[in-house]
Amino acid sequence: MKLYESLAADIAAQISQGVIREGERIPSVRQTSQHHNLSVSTVIRAFLLLESQGVIESRPQSGYFVRRRPAALAQAQSGEPLLAAEMARGETFDTSEFVLTTLRSIHQGSVPLGSPYPDPALFPWARLNQYANSISRRSSQIAISTDLPPGNPELIRQIARRHLENGLAVDSAEIIVTTGATEALNLCLQAVTAPGSLIAVETPTYYALLQAIERMQMRVVEIETDPVEGIDLEALERAIVEQGVAACMVMPNFQNPQGFQMSDARKQAMVEMLARHDVPVIENDVYHELYYGDVHPSSLKNYDTRGLVLHCNSFSKTLSPSYRIGWALPGRYRAQVEKLKFLNAINTAALPQLAIAEYLQNDGYDYHLRKVRKTYAQQASIMAAAVSRFFPQGTSVSQPAGGYLLWVTLPDGVQALELYARAQERGISIGAGNIFATGDAFRHCIRLNYSYPWTPEVEAAVRTLGLLVGELCSNCAPRIKANL
């Protein structure tokens, strides 16, 4: 390869990797000549080659810029959706890599039906950023003491008040602020178990819980979970007695992925049963505020009298995922969780804590939540109706009581991974049921995110999914006819 060709290949690689983005100016001829110790004529030949290939373009009096490509071409050249499709069809299946690839495809423009995150357009970004900017100008408030566990005192007070308003009186001294709910869940899991411990989870369950258990070298037992009633308490008790379950991890309110809400009676019965066996339970309650009814749900923590419920929550689903502020109410395990927090991460960033504390104190959080709940409830009905309309007979959908996720059971014989691969090739992301369990019990299920506005693009994506399901199911009776 000649010198100018080698330089052109290096520059093209930087552009492909995103080091230099579309529309951005590349280093000048003189700068490139100096940095690479090449003659000016060699650099010019490399630039002309890139220009002939359509990679860069010359602008008079300005220099060379990365040429903007059509969106479809840019996505095709990125390789991520194709990689995701190849992974879905591959013989080996790595859940972590699969999830990461899916998220990357969403960031590159796929219709985000497979996203685990809510639509960020509903969050009060402007107000939170105003508070953060104001606080940053008062830098004396941001001291190292507010970073250290258990967290900022004013934020802790606001969290305790929020629990009280929702019917749960908590001791503010129990609260430990964390970097999102994921850290809270991981810390609580570490606090109550050890490598080799057996952890009981719902099935299907949120894939991050399975990943955390595997990463900590623990074992998992999956307990059958009804899409309406929740986890099978009799089966859970048998696993405790016969297999020696060390702890449980559950999501009783608007469970991810099925969306159910356990009744108060079952929540109480679960806590009492676990208390009889002295088994702790880690409660993931991140969707607590996203209920559709008139009354907020109870949590397992409401029925805990022995400190065995380790309650985990966050503001990521209601205020801002980018601020990454969560908390734990670890019960009798508080000291262990606080110590682990300090050892694992030392602190939680002070500025997001202070900004959220001021927002909770001064702004209309309840008004914001009512608007979000109304939006999600409406879009849940629209999405469920669209799936029922566009998907073949034999498809069933969950009836979420809150949150923003719909669980879809496909007709017999349809493989979620093959549907995932075909959808990715058409710029649509979905959550394949395979990632929500250790086996293939949910290989015929998918999870859809309905938090985003119902647009013609989203409707077309759901319609396309229904047609793809029809193609994959030779015995399905179609509800609509169209060409892909």
Q: List the CATH number of the domain containing 443.
A: 3.90.1150.10
Q: How far apart are CA 418 and CA 468, in angstroms?
A: 10
Q: Do 194 and 216 sit in the same domain of this protein?
A: yes
Q: Do 21 and 99 sit in the same domain of this protein?
A: no
Q: Do 161 and 228 sit in the same domain of this protein?
A: yes
What is the rounded radius of gyration, in angstroms, for the C-alpha atoms of the chain? 25
Question: For residue 343, is it within any domain?
Answer: yes
Q: How far apart are CA 52 and CA 44, in angstroms?
A: 12
End position of a domain, from candidates 304, 335, 363: 363
End position of a domain, from candidates 363, 391, 419: 363
**pLDDT on residue 300:** 98
Question: For residue 146, is it within any domain?
Answer: yes
Q: Do 175 and 295 sit in the same domain of this protein?
A: yes
Question: For residue 478, is it within any domain?
Answer: no
Q: Do 186 and 220 sit in the same domain of this protein?
A: yes
CATH number of the domain that residue 55 is part of? 1.10.10.10
Residue with tokens 């010019």: 44
Question: In the chain, how many domains are there?
Answer: 3
Question: For residue 98, is it within any domain?
Answer: yes
Model confidence pLDDT, tens digit, residues 338-347: 999 999 888 8
Question: For residue 406, is it within any domain?
Answer: yes
Question: For residue 137, is it within any domain?
Answer: no
Q: Do 354 and 374 sit in the same domain of this protein?
A: no
Strands (E), 72-183: 176-178
Q: Do 262 and 225 sit in the same domain of this protein?
A: yes
Q: How far apart are CA 180 and CA 301, in angstroms?
A: 19
User: Over its length of 484 residues, how does the chain's per-residue pLDDT go in tens digits?
Assistant: 788 888 998 898 888 888 888 889 999 999 999 988 899 999 999 998 898 888 899 888 789 999 876 543 444 444 455 566 666 776 666 777 888 877 777 777 789 999 999 999 999 989 999 999 898 887 655 554 456 899 999 999 999 999 999 999 999 999 999 999 999 999 999 999 999 999 999 999 999 999 999 999 999 999 999 999 999 999 999 999 999 999 999 999 999 999 999 999 999 999 999 999 999 999 999 999 999 999 999 999 999 999 999 999 999 999 988 899 999 999 999 999 999 999 988 889 899 999 999 999 998 999 999 999 999 999 999 999 999 999 999 999 999 999 999 999 999 999 999 999 999 999 999 999 999 999 999 999 999 999 999 999 999 999 999 999 999 987 666 655 444 4
Q: Judge contact between 58 and 19, C-beta under 8 A.
A: no
Note down the domain range covering 309.
142-363
Q: Judge contact between 248 and 200, C-beta under 8 A.
A: yes
Handedness of CA 374, 377, 383, 386 (dihedral sign): negative
Question: For residue 23, is it within any domain?
Answer: yes
Q: How far apart are CA 3 and CA 9, in angstroms?
A: 10
Q: Do 206 and 259 sit in the same domain of this protein?
A: yes
Q: Do 349 and 384 sit in the same domain of this protein?
A: no
CATH number of the domain that residue 237 is part of? 3.40.640.10
Q: 178 by DSSP, 3-state: which?
A: strand
Q: Do 245 and 388 sit in the same domain of this protein?
A: no
Q: Judge contact between 69 and 51, C-beta under 8 A.
A: no
Q: Do 358 and 391 sit in the same domain of this protein?
A: no
Q: Write the single-letter amino acid at 455.
A: T
End position of a domain, from candidates 332, 363, 394: 363
Model confidence pLDDT, tens digit, residues 321-341: 889 999 999 999 999 999 999
pTM to 2 decimal places: 0.83
Among candidates 35, 48, 41, which has minimal Cα distance to 8? 48
Question: For residue 269, is it within any domain?
Answer: yes
Q: Do 276 and 292 sit in the same domain of this protein?
A: yes
23-26 contacts, C-beta under 8 A, 24 or more apart: 23/65, 23/66, 23/68, 24/65, 24/66, 25/62, 25/63, 25/64, 25/65, 26/56, 26/63, 26/64, 26/65, 26/66
**pLDDT on residue 109:** 75
